[in-house]
Amino acid sequence: MSRYRPPQKPGSKYITPEGKKRLSDEFEYLWRTKRPEVTAALAAAAAGPSGRVIAIAPDPRGFPILERNVDRKALASLEAAPRRSKAPSCSTSI
């Protein structure tokens, strides 16, 4: 197999409107669809079978969407939680 590649004819160094739209669409898909899936799967894998991952919706209006996405993933170690208005009190003793 040869590594030779014939010279390409010079093209434009500028992006076309169609090319920009394709790049924008791919970015949106990767950022809005694939990134949350990969993050959830990675977090669940890092928690292990006995661990727990809690996904918190920063905006209460987004909680139903978060809950639906968590249910759709059907990962036992992943659960959805609404954001609290105040941080829960916690204490530790050593």
Tokens of 66: 């978060």
The dihedral through the CA atoms of 89, 54, 35, 48 has a sign that is positive
What digits encode the pLDDT tens for the residues 9-34? Answer: 887 778 899 999 999 999 999 988 88
What digits encode the pLDDT tens for the residues 35-68? Answer: 888 887 787 777 777 777 777 777 778 788 777 8
pTM: 0.42
Q: Which residues lie below 8 Å from residue 80, measured CB to CB, with a gap of 6+?
A: 54, 55, 56, 57, 63, 66, 67, 69, 70
